[in-house]
Homo-oligomer: A and B are copies of this chain.
């Protein structure tokens, strides 16, 4: 039984002793909000996550807030949602902060950093390590309040038609890999290619590109990428725990009474938990399907390739810090937290996972 069904079931069968005292439950919405997203409508994990978040806010508010979700391009194009929410065309936006590096370089630290932090570590930094306050500072000039609203967990290294046996094999590699990961590949002699989602499959199958990173087994299986490539490489060094965000127009937020403000922020936090759990469970199932049914060949990047990718990643990420004082401040907080949590997870998460795997 899904949690959502459970809630419904419990509500339907309940003796609503308090109902008479809560007339607002049946009232017309006082706040009609729009949520614009960077995802195609109902895109698995991301788009559906945005839908669930909207529904959760509506349910907790007893219908006082209505949140209508728009897929990419329905109200504004995907990469214009930041501006749209900033100017109040919509009250909420659902995307990923690395899309907004043109607004602020520092924004990239709140989505995914090559060899950065896992989902659990990112959430610890955000909620209890000073990260949220920094993110708020970065979005404040745009009149936006950020929240973490989903996490994909560690992504996959990507689909390859060329084997990677050494660092030299990255030279000349044409790969669909955006953002900081693409920058790292370029420094090592590869050619990062940006392609719209709709052209990726064909480019990989035709040999126009050698490799593609997309998300992880859940999304990759749905996309059919296993039919266009020989090898499925791991780990996703470039996106170890990608935070998807829900940002809110500050004026719209402040116009809410306090209980609804807390409801909106708490719904995002619960959605963050739910989204990571969903990705973990669905990736788990999809990988099983890919390996057992589609006979996909899993391959680990060689250790020396990973070491070089890490060295280059650290250089690329440090360069962001040099761009402006806010980026420097965020970088320093991020790296300090990461380096310390690495030491903790070396004796906890990592040590346990290795012990469970047999040594």
Complex: how many Å from CA A354 to CA B123?
Answer: 20
Interface residues of A in 20-48 (CB under 8 A from B): 21-22, 24-25, 30-31
A153-166 contact mask (Cβ, 8 Å, vs B): 1 or 0: 11110000000000
Complex: how many Å from CA A154 to CA B216?
Answer: 25
Partner of A351, one of B1, B30, B234: B234
Q: How large is the interface on A (under 10, 10 to 19, 20 to 34, 35 or more residues)?
A: 35 or more
Q: A22-B259, A349-B349 are in contact. List 18 more A-B contacts (CB 8 A).
A: A3-B132, A6-B133, A18-B30, A22-B30, A25-B258, A60-B259, A120-B153, A126-B277, A127-B273, A128-B278, A156-B348, A270-B270, A273-B273, A283-B348, A301-B355, A306-B355, A307-B359, A354-B354
Copies in the complex: 2
Q: Is A344 positioned at the interface, with any CB of B under 8 Å from its CB?
A: yes
Q: Is A357 positioned at the interface, with any CB of B under 8 Å from its CB?
A: yes
Q: Is the CB of B284 within 8 A of A59?
A: no
With known contacts A265-B7, A274-B269, A348-B234, A254–B59 Cβ distance under 8 A: no
Across-interface contacts of A63 in B (CB, < 8 A): 259
With known contacts A341-B280, A350-B357, A353-B349, A127–B3 Cβ distance under 8 A: yes
Across-interface contacts of A267 in B (CB, < 8 A): 266
Across-interface contacts of A310 in B (CB, < 8 A): 355-356, 358
Min CB–CB distance A35 → chain B (angstroms):
17
Interface residues of A in 251-270 (CB under 8 A from B): 253-263, 265-267, 269-270
* Interface residue SS majority, chain A: helix
8 contacts between A and B (CB under 8 A): A6-B132, A10-B253, A11-B261, A120-B276, A127-B278, A129-B281, A266-B267, A300-B351
Across-interface contacts of A253 in B (CB, < 8 A): 10, 14
Q: Could you tell me which A residues sit within 8 Å of B by CB distance?
A: 1, 3, 6-7, 10-11, 13-19, 21-22, 24-25, 30-31, 56, 59-64, 115, 118-121, 123-129, 132-133, 136, 145, 153-156, 216-217, 234-237, 240, 253-263, 265-267, 269-270, 272-274, 276-278, 280-285, 287-288, 291, 298, 300-301, 303, 306-307, 310, 337, 340-359
Across-interface contacts of A270 in B (CB, < 8 A): 266, 269-270, 273
Min CB–CB distance A15 → chain B (angstroms):
6
Most chain B Cβ neighbours within 10 Å, of A217, A258, A265, A359: A258
